[in-house]
Amino acid sequence: MPTTVTAPVRALRGVAVLSPWLAHLLAVDLLLSLMLPLKPLAPTVVYNVSSILANSVWSWIQRIFTRLNRADIVLSTNCPAGLPRGESAVVIANHVAWSDFYMIQEAARHAGMLGRCRWFAKRSLRWVPFLGWGLWAMGMPLVSRSWATDRAELERVFRGIVSNRWPVWLISYSEGTRFTPARHAAAVSYRAAGNKPPPPSPYLLVPRPRGFAATVTALRRGSVESSGIAANSHVRAVLDVTIAYAHGSKFMQAPPFWETIANGNLSRGPSGYRFYAHVNRWDMDQLPEGEEALAEWLEERWKDKGKRLEELKTMLDRGEEWVGDENVDAAAAVDRKKDE
């Protein structure tokens, strides 16, 4: 009987929580769409205003997740003083579930870059009324699976970032798709057929290097091939994000979208969810030159991810807590005080 009562109540709660945010999102998408004609005339103004509007949308849903629905995100980094605030970066991550964006947004919030996040999105979204126009106005890279088409799109995005020195977190899931056991099995078979090693972990796919190599090559030099632009780059880092989840004792099980909205106790109780993100910062100067060398570098990062995920699983099996960094936790406490 309790479950038959709880499910409708939770559904009503989800609708009540989500509806105001959706109304705000629609209003923001409308404003972004209206700004499109201004983009050729004042691109930096449009970029900055769209970043402010984006921050209002993303900070709202992040608060729903972490404050209202009590999701505890364990965040750690290899930076001794925490993530540098206001630093532009290329961001790469493994892709587990729809809810991955909460993990990356939490890191962006700590770095003061939440409104500056620009995600690689599907090209087909461009034609969705309001949403697609909003993505276009914000300068999101809209890509397909065709490199010939995507290369021109990437140059368009890079040109704006480089020539105008726009602050940015340019985010991509380097595996190209969400992890599933079936996709992992297919990757193992495909790699074996080509006499290549399997994915570096039972919880990872193989990263696709071409887009990453093109992004790093263009942004770290501050130049775009077809435009002739050349300057000292303001994009100084690559941030490698490792994302992990647990649901009770089940490793890498993430909540579905609706549960992140409707469940007010996401991380409470022995069967609650654990959320984890570790950010490794790499200076652009540390990365090698050339597409092949960058592909090897990216594969090494995925091996590192595999080791970290195995460590997290071992801790989970032992009943140990996942622990974040003290400097990150202290920053979070300061942020909470500011918001109160």
Between these two residues, 137 and 67, which has the higher pLDDT value? Answer: 67
Whether the pLDDT of residue 334 is over 60: the answer is no
CATH of the domain at 286: 3.40.1130
Torsion, Cα 257 263 269 272, to 10 degrees, reads 0
Residue 142 pLDDT level (bands cut at 50, 70, 90): confident
Q: Which domain holds residue 72?
A: 2-339
Pairing of strands 229-230, 223-224: antiparallel
pLDDT, tens digit, 9 for 90 and up, residues 146-197: 666 777 778 878 888 888 899 999 999 999 889 999 999 999 998 888 878 8
Q: How far is CA 290 from CA 49, 71, 284, in A?
A: 36, 41, 13
Look at residue 135 in the predicted model and tell me its pLDDT: 77
Which helix or strand (DSSP H or E) is residue 326 part of?
A: helix 326-339
Ramachandran assignment for 325, one of left (phi > 0), alpha (psi -120 to 50 degrees), beta (any other): beta
Look at residue 126 in the predicted model and tell me its pLDDT: 72
Look at residue 150 in the predicted model and tell me its pLDDT: 77
Residue recorded with tokens 């941030």: 239
Q: Measured in whole angstroms, how far is the alpha carbon of residue 156 from the centre of its chain?
A: 21
Assigned token pair, 10: 């939770």
Instruction: Report the distance separating Cα 168 and Cα 149, nearest Å.
Output: 23
71: three-class secondary structure by DSSP: coil
Look at residue 240 in the predicted model and tell me its pLDDT: 98
Q: Measured in whole angstroms, how far is the alpha carbon of residue 263 from the centre of its chain?
A: 22
Residue 90 pLDDT level (bands cut at 50, 70, 90): very high
Whether the pLDDT of residue 336 is over 80: the answer is no
Look at residue 8 in the predicted model and tell me its pLDDT: 85
Q: How far is CA 201 from CA 60, 337, 340, in A?
A: 34, 39, 41
Assigned token pair, 223: 């130049």
Instruction: Report the distance separating Cα 12 and Cα 6, nearest Å.
Output: 10
Whether the pLDDT of residue 332 is over 70: the answer is no
pLDDT, tens digit, 9 for 90 and up, residues 237-291: 999 999 999 999 999 999 999 999 999 999 998 889 999 999 999 999 899 999 9
Structural domain count of the chain = 1
Q: How confident is the prediction for the chain on average, in pLDDT?
A: 87
* Candidate from 115-129, 297-311, 322-336 with smallest mean pLDDT: 322-336
Q: In this structure, what are the phi and psi dihedrals at residue 286, rounded to the nearest 5 degrees?
A: -80, -15
Look at residue 230 in the predicted model and tell me its pLDDT: 43
Q: In this structure, what are the phi and psi dihedrals at residue 280, rounded to the nearest 5 degrees?
A: -100, 125
Look at residue 123 in the predicted model and tell me its pLDDT: 76
Residue 53 amino acid letter: L
Between these two residues, 280 and 228, which has the higher pLDDT value? Answer: 280
Residue recorded with tokens 């590192």: 304
Q: DSSP string covering 266-313, please?
A: TT-STT-EEEEEEEEEEEGGGSPSSHHHHHHHHHHHHHHHHHHHHHHH
pLDDT, tens digit, 9 for 90 and up, residues 9-62: 889 999 999 999 999 999 998 898 888 899 889 999 999 999 999 999 999 999
117: three-class secondary structure by DSSP: strand
pTM of the model: 0.89
